[in-house]
A and B are shown apart, each in its own frame.
Chain A
Amino acid sequence: MMDSLYVAWRYVTWNRGKTLVLVASITLIVFLPLALQVLLDESERQLRTRALDTPLLLGAGGSALDLVMSSLYFDDELPVPIDMRAPAVIDASGLAYPVPLYVRFMARGAPIVGTTLDYFDFRGLRPAQGRLFAVLGEAVIGAEVAKRLGIGVGDSLVSSPDNLFDIAGVYPLKMSVVGVLADSHGPDDRAVFVDVKTAWVIEGLGHGHQDLAKTADSSVILQKDAGSVTANAKLLQYTEITANNIDSFHFHGSAAGYPLTALLVVPDDDKAEARLRGRFLDDDRYQLVKPDAVIDGLMENIFRIKQVIDAVIVIVAIATLLTIVLVFALSLRIRREEMQTIFRIGCSRMTTVRLLSAEILIIVTASAVLCAGLLWLIHVNSAALVQGLILR
């Protein structure tokens, strides 16, 4: 057998091009469904883990999936917003405590999560460097954001404008990084956390500007009445919150109407959870969802799609295998003279079969090794791949 393998090895290495095409075809056809399965398993694990760690989510009526994907994975799908009356409703129930979330803006490709310090306690997040935010304008960044952007405590981060062409819109806010979270191997690593009020400043609901009462420049004043002063666009708006200007920041309108994308609702116990869910069952304004149930539905759909993909892959695999058989059949025709020669020398038909089997064995083994290597790479990087490719 070793002699057959040697001769076969010489043949397949001599015909490098053909061998590479065959190895690549077999590898791909085996690798693709297996890699897909590995990534789906990891996606399911990550989705379920996060969902199971989150008891309830409160949001406006609409897509429960958008609500979950936005609140748990900071997906860029924006759910219908709720307002600050929602936390009061939860508080008033006496059954749970709410953690507000406002996930709408981005900073250099990372989602800005407006929340409160309760979020860090709830998720068990601790700063690896620095501290958590304490005042308006401070940001705490996830480990991956720090690594990707090469920034840390003492650096600053500017929010991305909502619309590049809206020159009259809200200015980007320069936030100072006061902490970097320890790696949590989840979506929190890829987010920038600010106080929810800072998120409202980014939205333009709150702002800081030069004090009109103290300014000597009368050209910034549009109208001045007994009780109020109206400024024009020349008024200096602050784009960074510092110790010197923080006192000038203020919010207009009723705080109860300020937006949130969701509330993390942490019930006191199972009974409280059941009672809360009952209360919101027929609520017109809000929906209270169990994220793991939503993810179950999502996974069912994904696996239904995967079954279709599997069927397509099976068809492609059959076509590929037929092509490979054709390649070998044509190869045999081309090599008929060679086969006749070794037969005339004294080789048996079985030896011919053994030589061809050895060639197939080498090609299949090379494909298996390559496939195993690629699958190992996918496996060890599956968490990062899922976070980077699927749960972005």
Chain B
Amino acid sequence: MISIQTLGFSYPGAGFRLQVPALAVAQGEKLAVIGPSGSGKTTLLNLIAGISVPDTGQVRVGKTTVSQLGDAARRNFRITNIGFVFQDFQLLDYLSVLDNVLHPYRISSALQLNRAVRRRALELLEQMGIAELRSQPSHALSQGEQQRAAICRALLPQPALILADEATGNLDPDNKQLILDMLFARVDDNAATLLAVTHDHELLPRFDRVQDFADFRGAAS
């Protein structure tokens, strides 16, 4: 699903340089990425998603070499093929839970909002146990409920790849397990691939594989 070769990236004017000699993630695999803060985990997610473009090497997601796409093509690829789950949920206060879930469809012409999509959104909310909260403003939800809504938003376009950046980092232990259960179940339902950045070693046994950034020799300079 994901194939990375001799990836190199640095931020202009910064001493940091990310180097990933090789990384492959199979279709349907759940990979946990660990490593110390500042080691470039989030940067790696940005490179896979096409938010940033590598200086060297290439990133392939499925059959698409993301790193070779132009700006607009990368955006369209991202919104149709990749679902993002953030640590701080990133829901919009001024939208209801349902509107937050539908938001990607309202901000991109690559996705078409129709009845089927609405129905699927409601089903997702039902599966995540927050269907009754669909009309509530997102800020009125608990943190666990907000992350469930954020997962619904990431999953609604039925992406082949889910990128989770510390998705359970702001949750209490009970909610961590619950959210992870729900995320894994939905990923399995969609036969999607999951790449999750985490600092929580308790959760690692639940992943198919763990990739430690320390394994990338010369990762940071």
Chain A residues proximal to chain B, CB less than 8 Å: 3-4, 6-7, 10-11, 13-15, 337-338, 341-348, 351, 355
Contact = CB atoms under 8 A, between A and B. Distances in A.
A10 B95 contact: yes
A6 B106 contact: yes
Nearest to A11: B94
A345 B79 contact: yes
A4 B106 contact: yes
Contacts of A15: 94
B213 interface: no
A3 B94 contact: no
Interface centre among B94, B99, B103, B110 (most CB of A within 10 A): B94
A297 B37 CA distance: 80
A337 B108 contact: no
Max count, chain A CB within 10 A of own CB: residue among B72, B84, B107, B137: B107
Nearest to B50: A346
Interface of B: 46, 49, 51, 72, 75-76, 78-80, 82, 84, 86, 90, 92-95, 99, 103-108, 110, 113, 137, 153
B141 to A, nearest CB: 16
Given A344-B84, A345-B104, A10 B94 contact: yes
Given A14-B94, A15-B94, A7 B107 contact: yes
Nearest to A13: B94
Contacts of B110: 346
Is the contact region of chain A dominated by helix, strand, or loop, or is it mixed? helix
Contacts of A355: 107
Contacts of A14: 93-94, 137
Given A15-B94, A346-B80, 17 more contacts: A3-B107, A4-B107, A7-B95, A11-B94, A14-B93, A337-B90, A338-B92, A342-B107, A343-B51, A345-B78, A345-B107, A345-B108, A345-B153, A347-B75, A347-B79, A351-B108, A355-B107
A87 B165 CA distance: 99
Contact of B72 (A7, A337, A348): A348
B86 A347 contact: no
Contacts of A3: 105-107, 113
Nearest to B106: A3
Contacts of B90: 337-338, 341
A14 B137 CA distance: 10
Given A11-B94, A14-B93, A14-B94, A346 B79 contact: yes
Contacts of B82: 346
A6 B51 CA distance: 26
A355 B106 CA distance: 10
26 contacts: A3-B106, A6-B106, A7-B95, A7-B103, A10-B95, A10-B99, A11-B94, A14-B93, A337-B90, A341-B86, A341-B90, A342-B103, A343-B51, A344-B84, A345-B79, A345-B107, A346-B75, A346-B78, A347-B75, A347-B79, A347-B104, A347-B107, A347-B108, A348-B75, A351-B107, A355-B107
Nearest to A12: B94
A348 B137 CA distance: 25
Contacts of A344: 46, 49, 51, 84, 86
A70 to B, nearest CB: 60
A344 B75 CA distance: 8
Contacts of B105: 3
A345 B95 CA distance: 16
* A-B interface, 7 closest residue pairs, ranked by CB to CB distance from nearest: A346-B79, A14-B94, A3-B106, A341-B90, A347-B107, A346-B78, A346-B75
B105 to A, nearest CB: 8
A31 to B, nearest CB: 28
Contacts of B99: 7, 10
Contacts of A337: 90
B41 to A, nearest CB: 15
A346 B95 contact: no
Contacts of A346: 75-76, 78-80, 82, 104, 107-108, 110
A11 B93 CA distance: 9
Nearest to B154: A345
A355 B104 CA distance: 13
Contacts of A6: 106
A348 B75 CA distance: 7
Nearest to A6: B106
